[in-house]
Amino acid sequence: MCLGIPGRVVRLLEGYGGQLALVDVVGESRRINIGLLDDTALAPGDWVVIHMGFAVERVDEAGAARALAGLELMGRGSDRGDEP
């Protein structure tokens, strides 16, 4: 797995050659290119790992949690406000 941010697919966007999805990334909606996963059918609720605006890997919820935990270990911090 590469270094990326996990996100959950909210919906696939019409047009754009079927290559864009609206993805929830830590509570914020983002348009993500899913064209690199052309052999993987995505649906709302699926988890992906995002790098530079591209979904590069489909993961399960446990994989998404591990990716987020890894980012927090590297100093991303948390949303709890307990950063130094």
Assess contact for 31 and 22: CB atoms under 8 A: yes
Q: What tens digit of pLDDT does each residue of 4-61 get?
A: 899 999 999 998 888 999 999 989 999 999 999 977 789 999 999 999 999 999 999 9
How many other CB atoms sit within 10 Å of the CB of residue 72?
A: 12
Q: Return d(Cα 16, Cα 1) in angstroms, integer.
A: 27
| Residue 82 scores a pLDDT above 80 | no
